[in-house]
Structure 1
Amino acid sequence: MSQTATLLVIDDEPQIRKFLRISLTSQGYQVLEAGTGADGLSQAALGRPDLVVLDLGLPDMDGQQVLRELREWTQVPVLVLSVRASEAQKVEALDNGANDYVTKPFGIQEFLARVRALLRQGSTADAPAGPLSIGGLLIDLGLRRVTLDAVEVSLTRKEYAVIAQLARYPGRVITQQQLLKDIWGPTHVEDSHYLRIVVGHIRQKLGDDPTAPRYLITEPGVGYRLQAL
């Protein structure tokens, strides 16, 4: 994705919009702004942004509703930026179609990294699936093969299923419930210990330190994502 990408910021705080406009334009992005949910939906339709940054606390409608309405007609990447930090709010936003979630206050460098990851994801969403390369890690879904520094990693069926699901959406948070439903079945959506054990085994096999992960990132209480480099 070229850095001439257009981003729509939907936030009712003028100082936040100004801060993000300065930060994003300094990186070469074009920025649209909206202070209400209704204006944001209108600009999303008219401006056709490449990414939407969405606050949940809007004056005219809840950001979750804005998200649901966006998902009725567009798959544009949405990065939620909100003071709401509860696990329930994060999970609801992700289930409503958000691609990522950052809580306020936030670090601008991490925010920009999340933006870049989502723009890459959006630019390849309709492209033929190919091997995913993250540093020395290579995930080839076509061959059902995972290698680390050119050495094949031996994974169980469940371990491969988890890493493959994350590899389909690099940089995007997948909720624990979604992973459990997709891989273990709908009767196991509360069995998060299954997932924690499998993720732990994957990290061991990749030599990925959970305190400073290179590949597999935990979003506490919400889910997991593969680093998108």
Structure 2
Amino acid sequence: MTNQSSIADIFAASRGDGLVDAAVDVARLGSCSVDYDKLTDAAVLSGQQTLARAQRELDTRKAWLAKTLAQRSRWELGQSGLAAQQGFLNPEGLIQKLTGTSKVESRKLVGVGRMLAEAEDAQAQAAATDAEAARRLLEGALDPDIPDGLDGVDGHGGVAPVVPLPAPMPWHAPISHAVTGGTLSIDAAHALRTGLGDIDTVVTGP
């Protein structure tokens, strides 16, 4: 029987990552059936939640990796794509082979993984836009040729800084954030994604 505290200590230095935190908490439950039998009732109840949280963290990473595999297997790469190199027509088939899951599950991972990546990219672009806007406003405030950092308002004829508009976040951003935050499962995210469809296209047109 493995010492529970020694397993947890291995990960202690890496606390802060969701998966590492979940792994530490799972390790503290024990490493065999006998350890689990010794848990208190309260630990059994909280342990179920701990295992569910760890599973969600793993599922999120499975979606990330499925998206990466699909990206490296996109059709325009032809035979140089990752899936094609392994003898598969599409990334879902390769994922199915590697993981032993169904084709439906593989498609789900790829779809949710792409959704998570889109939200992550949009968030990064929004942060970059905010930083650029702050930089331009600061430059305008410090520019002696632009009194009060304004133009066309105070009539001094300076050139006001053009502040970039923030890029819109994808409609599924709240769903994606809930998945990466560990509060929504891949299955639930997939159901919402496929049930709601591409709202951006519905609203703005293709």
Normalized per residue, the structure richer in helix is: 2
**TM-score normalized with structure 1 length:** 0.25
- Whose RCO is larger (CA < 8 A, sep 6+)? 2
Bigger proportion of residues as strand: 1
Q: Which has the larger radius of gyration?
A: 2
